[in-house]
Amino acid sequence: MNFFSKLYYKLRKIWKAIRLYLIIAGPGIVVMVADNDAGGITTYAATGAKYGYHLIWFLLLLVPVAYYVQEMTVRLGAVTKRGHAEAIFDGFGAFWGWFSLLDLMLVDWLTLVTEFIGMTAALSIFGVAPWLTVTGVVLLMAIIVLNGRYWTWEKIALLFCALNLIYIPGAFMIHPSLANIVKDGLIPNFTGGFNAQLFFFLMANIGTTIAPWMLFFQQSAVVDKGMQEKDIPWGKFDTLLGSALTIVVAIFIVIVVGTTLHGVDIDSAGQAAEHLMRTDRYIGTFMAIGLFDAGLLGAICISLASSWAFGEIFGWAHSLNQNIKQAPWFYASYFFTLITAGLVVLIPGAPLVLITLFVQVVAVTLLPAALVFLILLLNDRHTMGDYCNGVWQNLIGGFIVVVIVLLSSLYGISVMFPNLFR
Amino acid sequence: MRASLRRLLRKIGEINQRYREPRIRMSPGVKAALMFLRVYLLFLVCLMAYKFVLLLS
């Protein structure tokens, strides 16, 4: 009897913890899974096609990288109740504030264009015209945000996050060799030697793991959700789960493409889906659906990151808990970014490849600044109190930031000067 | 239109006024980090300008 009562109370405690987590869950998972956006899927597909399973071990190393950077935004948002843009304005003055805000707006808009490129490419495989995709996406995103509740928006976003897992059954359907995955993928190795091309791929994978909009988005989402200091442990767990999930999805994309298209030159995820469609219709369909979902999820988060940032600085009402009448400028900036980015894709002969490359270059101008500000703000004991970075957090966070800044800068430079590392 | 533009400029002026002084204490470490960012951005701008010139020529 004593055993059963103890078991009952233990299970009740666990159930209570799960329920509490389900309330807090959201920003960490959404931002991390949305990180596997159209550009991310393209990078992982190209990695799988070029190196097969050989870089899976490297992707696993990116779990702590993503976690340590993003968990800092959880603490900063929960303690200061301010988004990242406002925190930069307040902490470092108007010059750095305007620089971050305008750069964020540009990076977000360009990234949004790439999400539309991915979504239209994905649906064109099923014969859907680009104008129909753009119109449908804008309408869908209007329905998602105009309900006037952060909670509803978040749960819909989580639903799209679940759809991102479509690559997992896709990988099981092609029956990859588990022995080969373990042998080639989990033991660190540099297939073909450490050359310039491999370095380029490593940089691209790191570059897609941490994007500037993610810092701004998660901190603003934490604030809009109303997270408190006491929720920080759950917020951290949410971020850890999201980091693991995003890398798991990336690994399964590498497995799908590495098994079926190893050795094929892949320039985009849409192209990978088309190739897969020819070899296996179901896998190709899964790849295309996954690409569309990735673009949609990216678009949902990126357009909000800009609108939140503008609302914070200009003092507009800027919460998803407010309807369009209460926060007109917030929704106006949201739809303006969304519609203009969608229209660019529809312009005949628009330089879409140039835009895709330009995103990487512009992102490099914002990411180091946003990361350095993050570390400095987390060391401000006056504001952060007990949630200030400790010595180990600074060492780990500082090391990660230095590596990201260095590699993402080299990646951006290699995009501008393609022959530099080849 | 002109009134909206004037309102926007006034708002930007207010924001500049509100955030005129950085709140973070400017310790040597913070100053060094901000200086690094300035140099880094200048370097990137020069690279972009160089690339632009290359594209034009």
Residue A211: is its pLDDT beyond 80? yes
Q: CA of B19 to nearest chain A CA: how many angstroms apart?
A: 5
A24-33, A106-115, A352-361, A382-391: the lowest-pLDDT one: A352-361
CATH, residue A365: 1.20.1740.10
Is residue A421 in some structural domain?
no
Cβ of A376 within 8 Å of Cβ of B41? The answer is no
Is A361 near chain B, with CB under 8 Å?
yes
Is A316 near chain B, with CB under 8 Å?
no
Residues of A in contact with B23 (CB under 8 A): 90-91
Contact in structure between A129 and A256 (CB atoms under 8 Å): no
Cα B32 to chain centroid, rounded: 17
Q: What is the pLDDT of residue A422?
A: 60
Phi, then psi, of A195 in degrees rounded to 5: -115, 180
Confidence bin at B55 (pLDDT 50/70/90): confident
> What is chain A's mean pLDDT, rounded?
86
A266: closest CA among A40, A37, A42? A42
Residues of B in contact with A96 (CB under 8 A): 22, 34, 37
Is residue A422 in some structural domain?
no
DSSP-assigned letter for residue A360: H
Is residue A75 in some structural domain?
yes
Phi-psi map region of A251: left, alpha, beta (phi>0 left; psi -120 to 50 alpha): alpha
Cβ of A96 within 8 Å of Cβ of B51? The answer is no
pLDDT tens, position by position, A274-323: 888 888 888 888 888 989 999 999 998 888 888 888 888 988 887 888 88
CA B41 to CA B46: how far, in whole Å?
9
Phi-psi map region of A342: left, alpha, beta (phi>0 left; psi -120 to 50 alpha): alpha
Q: Name residues whose C-beta falls within 8 Å of residue A161's C-beta, 6 or more positions apart in sequence.
A: A29, A30, A33, A34, A245, A297
CA A400 to CA A335: how far, in whole Å?
35
Average pLDDT over residues B28-45: 89
Q: CA of B14 to nearest chain A CA: how many angstroms apart?
A: 9
Which range marks the domain in which residue A276 is found? Answer: 2-416
Q: Taking the CA of residue A213 as centre, how many other CA atoms within 13 Å lie in the half-sphere pointing to its CB?
A: 30
Q: What is the pLDDT of residue A42?
A: 86
A395 class by beta-carbon count within 10 Å (0-12 exposed, 13-18 middle, 19+ buried)? exposed
Joined tokens for residue A34: 């949305």
Q: CA of A69 to nearest chain B CA: how many angstroms apart?
A: 18
Report how far apart the first and last C-alpha atoms of chain B are (Å, whole number).
40
Residue A193: is its pLDDT beyond 80? no
Is residue A29 in some structural domain?
yes
Residue among A361, A364, A376 minimizing CB distance to B24? A376
Confidence bin at A96 (pLDDT 50/70/90): very high
| AA letter at A80 | T
| AA letter at A326 | Q
Is residue A56 in some structural domain?
yes
Contact in structure between A286 and A167 (CB atoms under 8 Å): yes
Cβ of A92 within 8 Å of Cβ of B24? The answer is yes
B24: closest CA among A383, A387, A86? A383
Is A313 near chain B, with CB under 8 Å?
yes
Contact in structure between A267 and A58 (CB atoms under 8 Å): no
DSSP-assigned letter for residue A321: T
Domain count, chain A: 1
Cβ of B22 within 8 Å of Cβ of A91? The answer is yes
Cβ of A93 within 8 Å of Cβ of B40? The answer is no
Contact in structure between A311 and A327 (CB atoms under 8 Å): yes
Q: What is the pLDDT of residue B51?
A: 82
| AA letter at B53 | V
B40: closest CA among A157, A371, A11, A300? A371
* CB–CB contacts below 8 A, A to B: 54
What stretch of H or E contains B14?
A: helix B2-18
Joined tokens for residue A258: 């590495």
Which segments within A117-184 are labelled E, that is strand?
none
| B contact test, residue of A82, A99, A329, A376 with most B CBs within 10 A | A376
Contact in structure between A337 and A111 (CB atoms under 8 Å): no
pLDDT tens, position by position, A337-367: 999 999 988 988 777 777 777 777 777 778 8
Q: What percent of chain B has pLDDT over 90?
A: 7
pLDDT tens, position by position, A131-167: 999 999 999 988 888 876 888 888 888 888 888 888 8
pLDDT tens, position by position, A60-95: 999 998 899 899 999 999 999 998 999 999 999 999
Contact in structure between A261 and A275 (CB atoms under 8 Å): yes
Is A185 near chain B, with CB under 8 Å?
no
pLDDT tens, position by position, A9-19: 888 888 887 77
Confidence bin at A253 (pLDDT 50/70/90): very high
CA B57 to CA B52: how far, in whole Å?
9
Nearest residue of chain A to residue B11 (CA atoms): A314
Cβ of A416 within 8 Å of Cβ of B19? The answer is no
